[in-house]
Structure 1
């Protein structure tokens, strides 16, 4: 049986020397809004401001910098939904290596374009990252190119671990660190660094509910593959934990939590509105965990924003979904009298409650309607849950039959 490589603090400290001048020491920003919710300091580690828009350059460059001349001449191949792709592409550009990247079909357009912009060749294959990774392995066997795995290699884990060193230096009083988690490379590196220097700090991974391979794998004691995945958080949509990071996660990580799609969208929306931070859904996972249970984490808390590469179209959809989840959008069906001025009266009541009408559709012919009724579907913009509840109460006081 092949022994699984491990990563030590010395490996991570050596990685930092290699990455000096390549990876950015990303800033830590205190969030007053999250601090108020959690009852103590909450700070954001802004890896969304890293080169290529995510933490991935740390591990990719370290791994590729250690290739032999013969390996560099053969080129590299990778599989990624976008962030690792960009890290590999930039590292290849800096090191003068040819790179081919397999992306799952439907990968975000900005990530594809950025990867090509760094000079890599992009090939689409499969629906999920695991299928793209299988094709990358085949390509490596066919061409001799070196596979740069997105998370399952000791150099990748060591490179990502430099983020953990920065967290301890920037927030020496930290008590809890929350890390978005997919295949495990980032949290494995961060936890290894932090636990070696500060074993008292709690390290928590956060996965999307629809792509949470770690909880069951940890319960079973070995990496297990999911049968299917469904999440907007493509950056952490990984069906099976890597062997190398799994070992470190099992040893050093205190807990792995899951968050819903609604929590992810609300976290992303809140980061845009309150922190002025653009992140992708995966990058918002740690903040989603805080929003779900703000009192569950000892402060000071550091939440890692792992990436900011989001398609503007998806950003618009997620923001709308987040607003709907927060009752900022309200879709109502209201039955009104079929009399002159009936619709105007309804709209007047909505205006008096300061609700902004986005869309109105009314229907007169339906077997569920009385002869003297009109069915009005109205989409509203509200200020939030309390405003929406007050609006519904007002309409019912006025005698309207209202259905959400």
Structure 2
């Protein structure tokens, strides 16, 4: 378990390196749900997603000798962009391994930050194999995308901000993939407000953490194309932290169809927010009435990094 103390220390460590993102009221969702609904806009982070928090905390904890050898990570896009920016800020070389399923706009964004990009295979697991080769063969230091104490603590700082801005929050909806975000936020929320519910939201196509929780242990799941591409990938069969934390801290997990994810993207746009599929799943779950709202609710909008053309097609009523 990553506890509240580690998250509080991470908040102090990364202050000034990341943006304290806004919490805004959603009139449309509040009217639909008959309770106050607030959006935590991590999509306003400088890299366009929450990932900068965990990556920055992890990079700052790497010792000087390891920094000189360089850093490496596997990513579905947003974590790679975050590691690239955090590494560049410290003058450190970064290698980002991604699969062919990662959208080109996310690959371009990582390259623009000066990272060495490697495209490997068609799954996050394929990309992870290249990471392991570089760690063993070249001595690079891995910054894991989710199953890492420093990364989880960094993501957990979002939970502290939610409590500061909405101390009476009764429900928090968090996108769920490998579990670094969900477990970090849940640890922060439950550490301060143990009665507040935290629910993980994922897409039905390739929801690895959901399948693992249902099985009672980490399992391999085929990675499929989805509008919520940032939620793709496995949780690792030797998962150290996030499986147990999600099992013990999340109150429920909800899955969404592709149509429901698309509707979440469209609704976010009506509220003036451009949001990628993974960032829209909390909104989508409320629209689909898959969540029982009993009081003030915070929906984490985790990222905005969606291809412009695809976003336009979705807004027009398609799936991009």
TM-score, normalised on structure 2?
Answer: 0.96
Is the aligned partner of 1:308 residue 2:315? no
- How far apart are the structure 1 equivalents of 2:282 and 2:178? 15
- How far apart are the structure 2 equivalents of 1:137 and 1:99? 14
Deviation per CA, 1:34-83: give whole Å up to 9, x if none: 00111111110000001200000111111111111110011001111210
- How far apart are the structure 2 equivalents of 1:319 and 1:25? 28
- How far apart are the structure 2 equivalents of 1:27 and 1:179? 16
- How far apart are the structure 2 equivalents of 1:230 and 1:312? 18
- How far apart are the structure 2 equivalents of 1:73 and 1:288? 44
Among 147, 163, 168, which residue is 2:163 paired with? 168
Among 248, 253, 270, which residue is 1:251 paired with? 248
Higher relative contact order (CA 8 A, sep 6+): 2
Q: CA contact under 8 A between 2:254 and 2:290: conserved in structure 1?
A: no
Q: Higher mean Cα deviation, 11-20 or 129-138? A: 129-138
Q: Give the aligned CA root-mean-square deviation in angstroms.
A: 1.6
- Residue 294 of structure 1: CA displacement? 6.4
Partner in structure 2 of residue 213 of structure 1? 208
Q: How many matched pairs?
A: 318
Alignment of structure 1 residues 46-195 onto 2, 5 Å:
46-195=41-190
- How far apart are the structure 2 equivalents of 1:261 and 1:88? 29
Deviation per CA, 1:340-372: give whole Å up to 9, x if none: xxxxxxxxxxxxxxxxxxxxxxxxxxxxxxxxx
> CA 1:323–1:92 in 2, change beyond 3 Å: closer, same or farther?
closer
Larger radius of gyration: 1
- How far apart are the structure 1 equivalents of 2:183 and 2:37? 22
Alignment of structure 1 residues 220-259 onto 2, 5 Å:
220-240=215-235, 242-259=239-256
- How far apart are the structure 1 equivalents of 2:211 and 2:224? 14
- Residue 115 of structure 1: CA displacement? 1.1
- SS where residue 257 of structure 1 aligns? strand
Runs of 4+ aligned structure 1 residues displaced above 6 Å come to: none
- How far apart are the structure 1 equivalents of 2:86 and 2:223? 32
In structure 2, runs of 5+ residues without a counterpart are none
- How far apart are the structure 2 equivalents of 1:206 and 1:52? 22
Q: CA contact under 8 A between 2:178 and 2:235: conserved in structure 1?
A: yes
TM-score, normalised on structure 1?
Answer: 0.76
